[in-house]
A and B are shown apart, each in its own frame.
Chain A
Amino acid sequence: MTALAVEDLRIRFGDTVAVDGLSFELPAGGALGIVGESGSGKSATALALLGLHTSAVVEGRISFDGLDLTTLTDRRWRDVRGARIAMVFQEPLTALSPFHTIGDQIAEVYRLHTGASRRAARERAVEVLRQVHIPDPARRAASYPHQFSGGMRQRALIAMALSCRPQLIVADEPTTALDVTVQAQILDLLDEVRETTGTSLLLISHDLGVVAGSTDRIVVMRRGVSVEHGATAAVLGAPSAAYTRELLAAVPHAKPPRTIEGAPLLRLDAVRKHFPQPRRGSWRRPEPVRAVDGVTLDVRAGETLGIVGESGTGKTTLARVMTGLLAPTAGTITLDGADITRRRGRSVQMVFQDPMSSLNPRRSIGESIADPLRLSGVRDPRTRVEDLLERVGLARTEYDRYPHQLSGGMRQRVGIARALAPRPKLIVCDEPVSSLDVTTQAQVLALLEELREEFGLTMVFVSHDLAVLRQIADRVAVLYEGRIVELGDTAEVYAQPQHPYTKELLAAVPVTDPAEARRLRALRRTIA
């Protein structure tokens, strides 16, 4: 039986066509994935399924349980939303009201659709919170969203989706804002919910690995058009569309190992960075946050050292300490034998995570790149900046454009050019590709590798993404609670992880092979 059938869906914002003739079917109890990069129209499709577009023209047929959703009045829509089709959003902190408790928000939805008593609604809220494995659900129902962790917030949102026992759950990038291990937990939960309640799942993601393990069928979208659809295993195993092949090729792959026997360039010896906490309430000073807590590490000349960790493990702090942007609380950092706190600047440069916020919006990109050159005494850097722009794959004429006029990938190229400008020996990249689409990500990674060879650079690559590191790093250090719990050649760490945290991380990595994804899900159940 078909739960949802979309026929020839067209969504237009003014003259911009977001979705152009999309058709798919989702069987009752089934799971369908929609995959595409930004601008592919996947989120517009999700919003259309709930009639949430306000400024767009939606045409076509959306048949759901005998209704044509595109013809519903506002009043009828409200009976469908939440009760029969429920949505799980990307950013669970902002998706929940900050002024109401989790329990109240779930109960409100349940009461609205079932007319249950306040008490019954509260009980239902606790019940669904238990169903999504919130510990001590009766007590936690009285918490506000800001008192929950990211993963728990997403669980709460899934609980809200479950509360009215909908026939369809639409999850739009439900794990994008989450750490990799939490992402795996949420995907496992969605899978479990589908099995136990029999609802259908429409999972929307930019990440092939996310849909591979959680769906039976997928639709690959590009610029509003479905380029390929079919059984997940078939599409990912033997793609017929060129674009699907391109996407799959862009997913990071392991590469043959290099052996780097260079002398240590950057040496960290028992480096600590503690952030003292303000005194609050009590007279005793609280323990400082030990962001980096005793890291000893050599970065060999010519290698790419990967540093992996989830949010809060201290990886950004470590990157900043390495570049001299933060002074360590204790320990020494030397570059070529000289203390880095005294000689930072030109020889160590950094590429930041978010190229938009790390570029001055009021300066042209050429000027931003020229700044470090001027600092190092170059009088008229324009030609050199233009050469650099060309080298990172941008046109010389981009010099006078502003950050907001560029795409995300182009902006990150600017960030790389700026880091390269003063001819550094070492570049520290802090999550340089995590905000980029997968094909752009592949291009930027390739660029970084080329540049490393051409300029003889040493690189430190900080990331939460084990797949990316597997491709680019020669050695990997696993960071956990401010300490390095495992360090070794990339191939070795991936094949034979020693530390339990490394094992957990590796089991959580999304993979594009559905069979492997299922094996990992089973493995995660045994670890947990």
Chain B
Amino acid sequence: MIGYLVRRIGGALLVLFGLSLLLYGLFYLAPSDPAILTCGKGCTPERLAEVRHAMGVDDPVATQYAHFLQGLVAGRDYPAGPATRHCPAPCLGYSFETDQPVTALLLDRLPVSVSLAIGAEVLSLVAGIGAGALAGLRRYRWLDRVVNGLVLAGYAVPVFLVGLLLLLIFCVQLQWLPFPTYVPITTDPLAWAQNLLLPWVALAVIQTAAYARLTRAGIQETLAEDHIRTARAYGLPESRIVWRRALRGALLPLVTLTAIDLAAIMTSAVLTETMFGLPGVGQLLVGAVNQIDLPVVVGVTMLTGVLIVAANTVADFLYAAVDPRVELR
């Protein structure tokens, strides 16, 4: 188990190293010079050279990459005019646009994204597993057909349309909820949930559809297995067969999917964040890409990488915990 963990973390670090290398290579190849953009109009060659030096883009690319890695692991110093400023580890540099440390930017945005992801995930798991289980148990009856129809609809409707409709109905027409703004959970948990409710629902629509479909298929598959027949042959009541046996088998694939989805929502729920005006990581990324704010783009991408790799590892451990046939070694 410990050996597995060590090897797994080693592998994860290797993946992240590869990712950073790839990212750096890509941005070096990008045709635009960030220094010219930062320097702005009426830039003199002397001023440009200064900016380049300050941004650290005048070094050879290998040196730049080495500095980047050093910043990540141990922190680094940036020249700022005559003085230097220290950027503690894990340092992802300073935003070209706002001159804030990228790490701070990310930490600022992350709680929003985490709130969004966890809420949406809980909602879609509850709704998806519930609907899927009902459909699976009532195969080819009307309830199953209704769930199937909703699943298709959930897949088909784009998230911005759902979001707009929700806003229109609950904030404009009925005025049950305020227009969402982010309130930290530490400030006011109720307001936090109230404000995030609509974004959660909007995000959950598609996820719910996916989970319901998976659960339905899983339940049907497990119910057809031999050990379910054994359970029936030994007089176990149907409710117990469903809850203790069938659902257990059906939910296995959801474990992996949920972990990965959580990580994905945290960094890429751009549409939802934009529509509901939530200052999350996804929004940060879009802004940074538009402004060619390379350190921020690199930072967000690295964060995505870390989250996905971590989620995968957690998923593997969970999988081993729920399925005794899986051994981690």
Contact = CB atoms under 8 A, between A and B. Distances in A.
A376 interface: no
Contacts of B245: 97, 99
Interface string B223-234: 001110111111
Interface string B308-329: 0000000000000011110001
B249 interface: yes
B225 A79 contact: no
A95 B329 CA distance: 27
Contact of A52 (B229, B237, B324): B229
Given A98-B324, A99-B245, A99-B324, A81 B232 contact: yes
A78 B237 contact: yes
B248 A99 contact: yes
Contact of B235 (A80, A97, A146, A281): A80
B3 A281 contact: yes
Interface string A132-150: 0000000000001010000
Contact of B225 (A80, A94, A146): A94
A89 B226 contact: yes
A165 interface: no
Contacts of A83: 235
A146 B227 CA distance: 13
Size bracket of the B interface? 20 to 34
A89 B225 CA distance: 13
Contact of B233 (A50, A99, A101, A281): A50
A493 interface: no
Contacts of A86: 233-234
A141 to B, nearest CB: 14
A78 B235 contact: yes
Given A99-B248, A281-B3, A281-B329, A94 B235 contact: no
Contacts of A82: 233-236
A444 interface: no
B234 A95 contact: no
B226 A91 contact: yes
Contacts of B322: 99
Contact of B229 (A79, A95, A112, A281): A95
Nearest to A163: B234
Nearest to B234: A82
A91 B230 CA distance: 11
Nearest to B4: A281
Contacts of A94: 225-227
B235 A98 contact: no
Size bracket of the A interface? 20 to 34
A87 interface: yes
A171 B226 CA distance: 15
A160 B234 CA distance: 9
Contacts of A79: 235
A95 B227 CA distance: 4
Most A CB within 10 A of own CB, among B3, B226, B233, B322: B233
A281 B229 CA distance: 37
Contacts of A96: 227, 230
Nearest to B238: A74
B325 A144 contact: yes
Nearest to A281: B329
A82 B236 CA distance: 9
A280 interface: yes
A86 B232 CA distance: 11
Most B CB within 10 A of own CB, among A83, A89, A95, A160: A95
Given A96-B227, A97-B227, A99-B245, A112 B325 contact: no
Most B CB within 10 A of own CB, among A77, A101, A109, A157: A109
Contacts of A78: 235-237
Contacts of B323: 98-99
B232 A52 contact: yes
Contacts of A87: 230, 233-234
A374 B323 CA distance: 48
A300 interface: no
Nearest to B241: A97
A44 B211 CA distance: 36
A525 to B, nearest CB: 30
Interface in A66-84: 77-83
A98 B228 CA distance: 11
A83 B130 CA distance: 33
Most B CB within 10 A of own CB, among A86, A98, A108, A146: A98
A423 interface: no
Given A98-B227, A99-B245, A99-B248, A108 B325 contact: no
Contacts of A80: 235
Given A112-B236, A144-B325, A146-B325, A89 B249 contact: no
Nearest to B245: A97
Contacts of B226: 89, 91, 94-95
A12 interface: no
Nearest to B229: A52
A528 to B, nearest CB: 29
Interface in A18-48: none
A167 B249 CA distance: 33
Nearest to A157: B230
A290 interface: no
A183 to B, nearest CB: 19
13 contacts: A78-B236, A80-B235, A82-B234, A86-B234, A94-B227, A95-B226, A99-B248, A99-B323, A108-B236, A109-B234, A109-B235, A112-B234, A281-B4
Interface of B: 3-4, 225-227, 229-237, 245, 248-249, 322-325, 329
